[in-house]
Structure 1
Amino acid sequence: MAQPQGPEAGYCKASTAALLYAIAGATWILCSDMVLGAWLQDSELLGHAQLGKDLIFVLATALALFMLLRHNHQRHTEHLIQDAAQRTELRMLSQFRESIIDTAHVWINVLDEHGRVTVWNQAAEHITGYGREEVLNHHKIWEWLYPDPDYRAQVYSKVDDMLARDQIVSGFESRIRAKDGTIKIITWNSGRLYDEQGKINGLIAIGRDITEHKRAEKALVERERQLATLMANLPGMAYRCHDEPLWTMKFVSQGCQRLTGHQPEDFVDNQRLSFASIIHQDDREQVASEVALAQAEGRPFAIEYRIRHQDGHDVWVWEQGQAAEIDGTHFLEGILIDISERKRMEQALEQMAIRDPLTGLYNRRELEQQLDAELSTARRYQHTVGLLWIDVDHFKSVNDRFGHLAGDAVLRQLSSLLQEQVRTADYIARYGGEELAIVLPESDSQEALQLAERLCDTVARTPMQIPEHTPINITISVGVATYPTHAATTKALFQAVDQAMYAAKQQGRNRVHLATPAPTNDRHPTESPA
Structure 2
Amino acid sequence: MDKLEGRYTPLQRSLWIVGIYLLAGWLWITFSDYLVQQWFPDPELLSRAQTYKGALFVLVTALVLFLSLIRQFSKDRTLLSLHHHQREQIRQLNQFRESVIERADIWINVLDPQGRVVLWNKAAEDISGYPREEVMGSDAIWQRLYPDEEERARIRARADEILRDEGEVVGYETWITTREGRERQLSWNSRSLHDEEGEIVGSIAIGQDITDIRMAENTIRQRERQLSTLMDNLPGMAYRCRYDEHWTMLFVSNGCRELTGYEPDELVHNNLVSFAELIEDGSNEHILQTVELAIGNAEAFSIEYPLVRKDGKRIWVWERGRGVDGDGELALEGIVLDISDRKALEDELSELATRDPLTGLLNRREMTRLLEEEIARAKRYDRELALLWIDFDHFKAINDEHGHAAGDSVLKAASALLADSVRSVDVIGRFGGEEFVILLPEMDRPEAWETAERLRRLVSETPHPLGGGKTVCLTISIGVSVFPDHGNDPYALCAAADRAMYQAKANGRNQVVLAALAEEAHNP
Instruction: Report the TM-score range of the alignment, normalised by the length of the smaller protein.
Output: 0.7 to 0.9
Match of 2:368 in 1: 368
The alignment partner of 1:186 has SS state of strand
CA distance 1:64–1:290, shift in 2 (3 Å): same
Alignment of 1:183 onto 2:177? no
User: Is this contact kept in 2: 1:36–1:46, CA < 8 A?
Assistant: no
The alignment partner of 2:153 has SS state of helix
Q: Distance in 1 between matches of 2:380 and 2:22?
A: 149
Q: Distance in 2 between matches of 1:482 and 1:18?
A: 150
1:188-226 superposed Cα distances (whole Å, 9 cap, x missing partner)? 222111112221111112222222222232233333333
1:53-72 superposed Cα distances (whole Å, 9 cap, x missing partner)? 66555555554444444443
Higher mean C-alpha deviation, range 399-408 or range 197-206:
399-408
1:462-477 mapped onto 2 (5 Å cutoff): 462-468=462-468, 470-477=470-477
User: Is this contact kept in 1: 2:283–2:306, CA < 8 A?
Assistant: yes
CA distance 1:498–1:326, shift in 2 (3 Å): closer
Match of 1:499 in 2: 499
The alignment partner of 1:503 has SS state of helix
CA distance 1:183–1:395, shift in 2 (3 Å): farther
The alignment partner of 2:258 has SS state of helix
Q: Distance in 1 between matches of 2:85 and 2:379?
A: 112
Alignment of 1:88 onto 2:88? yes
Match of 2:3 in 1: none
Q: Distance in 2 between matches of 1:307 and 1:378?
A: 36
Task: Name the amino acid aligned to 1:186.
Answer: L
Q: Structure 1: which 5+ runs fail to align? A: 1-8
Task: Name the amino acid aligned to 1:105.
Answer: D
Match of 2:444 in 1: 444
The alignment partner of 2:83 has SS state of helix
Higher mean C-alpha deviation, range 393-402 or range 484-493:
393-402
1:1-20 mapped onto 2 (5 Å cutoff): 12=11, 16=15, 20=19
Q: Distance in 2 between matches of 1:478 and 1:183?
A: 97
1:325-474 mapped onto 2 (5 Å cutoff): 334-468=334-468, 470-474=470-474
Q: Distance in 2 between matches of 1:418 and 1:310?
A: 41
CA deviation after TM superposition for structure 1 residue 385, in Å: 2.0
With normalisation by structure 2, the TM-score equals 0.85
Alignment of 1:523 onto 2:521? yes
Report the RMSD for the aligned CA atoms in angstroms: 3.5
The alignment partner of 1:187 has SS state of strand
CA deviation after TM superposition for structure 1 residue 419, in Å: 0.7
User: Is this contact kept in 1: 2:33–2:50, CA < 8 A?
Assistant: no
CA deviation after TM superposition for structure 1 residue 158, in Å: 1.0
Task: Name the amino acid aligned to 2:415.
Answer: S
% of aligned pairs identical? 45
Match of 2:97 in 1: 97
User: Is this contact kept in 2: 1:36–1:49, CA < 8 A?
Assistant: no
User: Is this contact kept in 1: 2:386–2:481, CA < 8 A?
Assistant: yes
Task: Name the amino acid aligned to 1:310.
Answer: K
CA distance 1:134–1:524, shift in 2 (3 Å): farther
Q: Distance in 2 between matches of 1:224 and 1:524?
A: 78
1:33-112 mapped onto 2 (5 Å cutoff): 59-112=59-112
Higher mean C-alpha deviation, range 239-248 or range 202-211:
239-248
Higher mean C-alpha deviation, range 39-48 or range 334-343:
39-48
User: Is this contact kept in 2: 1:108–1:207, CA < 8 A?
Assistant: yes
User: Is this contact kept in 1: 2:36–2:50, CA < 8 A?
Assistant: no
CA deviation after TM superposition for structure 1 residue 268, in Å: 5.0
CA distance 1:503–1:172, shift in 2 (3 Å): same
1:311-366 superposed Cα distances (whole Å, 9 cap, x missing partner)? 33312223345566766777665543222122212222222222222322222222
CA distance 1:282–1:34, shift in 2 (3 Å): closer
Q: Distance in 2 between matches of 1:240 and 1:410?
A: 58
CA deviation after TM superposition for structure 1 residue 499, in Å: 2.5
Match of 1:3 in 2: none
1:317-328 mapped onto 2 (5 Å cutoff): 317-321=317-321
Match of 1:216 in 2: 216
Task: Name the amino acid aligned to 1:508.
Answer: G
User: Is this contact kept in 1: 2:496–2:516, CA < 8 A?
Assistant: yes
The alignment partner of 1:127 has SS state of helix
User: Is this contact kept in 2: 1:488–1:524, CA < 8 A?
Assistant: no
User: Is this contact kept in 2: 1:239–1:251, CA < 8 A?
Assistant: yes
Q: Distance in 2 between matches of 1:237 and 1:413?
A: 47
CA distance 1:385–1:122, shift in 2 (3 Å): same
Higher mean C-alpha deviation, range 498-507 or range 20-29:
20-29
Q: Distance in 2 between matches of 1:183 and 1:402?
A: 95
CA deviation after TM superposition for structure 1 residue 131, in Å: 2.3
Q: Distance in 1 between matches of 2:66 and 2:72?
A: 10
Match of 1:148 in 2: 148
1:103-130 superposed Cα distances (whole Å, 9 cap, x missing partner)? 2232222111111122222222232222
The alignment partner of 2:420 has SS state of helix
User: Is this contact kept in 1: 2:504–2:513, CA < 8 A?
Assistant: yes
CA distance 1:91–1:409, shift in 2 (3 Å): same
CA deviation after TM superposition for structure 1 residue 180, in Å: 3.0
1:81-118 superposed Cα distances (whole Å, 9 cap, x missing partner)? 22221221111111111111222232222111111122
The alignment partner of 1:439 has SS state of strand
User: Is this contact kept in 1: 2:36–2:49, CA < 8 A?
Assistant: no
Q: Distance in 1 between matches of 2:29 and 2:488?
A: 168
CA distance 1:310–1:41, shift in 2 (3 Å): closer
User: Is this contact kept in 1: 2:163–2:203, CA < 8 A?
Assistant: yes
Higher mean C-alpha deviation, range 299-308 or range 489-498:
299-308
Q: Structure 2: which 5+ runs fail to align? A: 1-8
